[in-house]
Amino acid sequence: MVMNKEVLTKYKKASEISKKCKEFGKKLAVPGANYLEISEKIESKIRSMGADLAFPVNMSVNSVAAHYCAVENDKNILNEGDLLKLDIGVQIEGYIVDSAISIPIKTKNHDNLILAAKEALNNAIKMVKPGIYTSDIGEIIESTINKHGFKSIRNLSGHGIEQYNVHAGYNIPNYKSGGKFKLEKGMVIAIEPFATNGTGRVTEGKSSGIYELVEKRQVRMYRDVLNHIISTYRTLPFSEREVSKNFGRTKTKLALDSFVRAGILHDHKILNEKPGSYVAQFEYTIIVDDKPIILG
Ligand code: CO
């Protein structure tokens, strides 16, 4: 047995919830729909189904590759012709399923790009087995995307997953990195190819409103906010939008800024491709075994 049976049951339940929430997201993603409403509906659904968020819903559109998180009073709406990446993190007792889909908004213009990312993920999954180099998975991802005439985004990657830890210490590259890291039985990994007609690199933009605890420390100011964050989210990423519901917008902003300055929190940035380009992404969480278990 690759994994404790109770743990596997939790992963499978999180996986079912993730699948349902992605389907729900597809229905909600129509022209005119507001990012904030979609995000909050999906977040509520995750919780109503008996799980919790592994990170806030990410809705990255067109040239935004990753980490756009709806803010309080977000007025952005989806438009016909958009390409949405919906990235959802579901966890049960810290056992995380991280999964993403690309949704075209009433358009066929992005079908080839979407196919490139989807096929890259499928080909990558076929390679997953104990003992394989993650670099070899990256190689098949990039070559599949290139075959469709697009670029793989090289400075984004999949990642290892551990309990209450979305990004365990190793990556699953989206190109042949040449690294010598091998997968082992029982590892939980997220594979997430990004295909683009842009440059193949993202740059950091503005703050996303997604934060994550990096170092637990005593604070004098805003101790109540920090205690709330630690008890609610532990080491998982969370949104400023949700913390604001408890402490109000002004106090939350001041508290989070001071925690970032003190090195207590990490402030995730929005990751952008070249303006005017498009990015497609698909992601599954996988338990490495002789026959891998695909989640999400
Ligand atoms: Co991921």
Residue by residue, what is the 3-state secondary structure of 225-272? HHHHHHHHHCCCCEEHHHHHHHHCHHHHHHHHHHHHHCCCEEEEEEEE
52 belongs to the catalytic site: no
pLDDT over threshold 70, residue 1: no
Quick: pLDDT tens for 172-216: 999 999 999 999 999 999 999 999 999 999 999 999 999 999 999
82 belongs to the catalytic site: no
In this prediction, residue 266 has a pLDDT band, given cuts at 50, 70 and 90, of very high
**Helix ranges (DSSP H) in 128-222:** 134-147
In this prediction, residue 96 has a pLDDT band, given cuts at 50, 70 and 90, of very high
Ligand 1 centre to CA of 87 (Å) is 8
In this prediction, residue 250 has a pLDDT band, given cuts at 50, 70 and 90, of very high
283 belongs to the catalytic site: yes
Among the four given CATH numbers 3.40.50.300, 3.90.230.10, 3.40.50.720, 3.40.190.10, the one describing domain 5-202+273-295: 3.90.230.10
User: Inter-axis angle of helices 5-28 and 35-48, to 10 degrees?
Assistant: 150
Q: Mean pLDDT over all residues of the chain? A: 97
Residue 7 parent element (H or E): helix 5-28
For 26, the 3-state DSSP assignment is helix
pLDDT over threshold 80, residue 17: yes
Ligand 1 centre to CA of 97 (Å) is 9
pLDDT over threshold 80, residue 83: yes
Q: What is the mean pLDDT of residues 25-43?
A: 98
Ligand 1 centre to CA of 202 (Å) is 15
Q: Which residues on adjacent β-strands are paired with residue 239? A: 210
Residues 6+ apart with CB under 8 A from 27: none
167 belongs to the catalytic site: yes
- Contact present, 26 and 101 (Cβ < 8 Å): yes
Ligand 1 centre to CA of 171 (Å) is 10
Give the model's pLDDT for residue 66: 98
Distance between CA atoms of 188 and 147, rounded to whole angstroms?
28
Q: List, by residue range, all CATH 1.10.10.10 domains of the chain.
A: 208-270
The maximal CA–CA distance of the chain, rounded, in angstroms, is 56
Q: List, by residue range, all CATH 3.90.230.10 domains of the chain.
A: 5-202+273-295
Ligand 1 centre to CA of 121 (Å) is 13
In this prediction, residue 243 has a pLDDT band, given cuts at 50, 70 and 90, of very high
Find the catalytic residue in 67, 110, 159, 268: 159
Find the catalytic residue in 52, 74, 87, 139: 87
Ligand 1 centre to CA of 100 (Å) is 8
Q: Which amino acid is at 115?
A: L
Instruction: Give the architecture (CATH level 2) of 208-270.
Output: Orthogonal Bundle (1.10)
Of all residues in the chain, the percent with pLDDT exceeding 90 is 98
Q: What is the mean pLDDT of residues 71-93?
A: 97
Give the model's pLDDT for residue 2: 72
Give the model's pLDDT for residue 51: 98
Distance between CA atoms of 139 and 251, rounded to whole angstroms?
47
Q: What is the sign of the dihedral through the CA atoms of 127, 130, 136 and 137?
A: positive
In this prediction, residue 3 has a pLDDT band, given cuts at 50, 70 and 90, of confident
- Contact present, 51 and 10 (Cβ < 8 Å): no
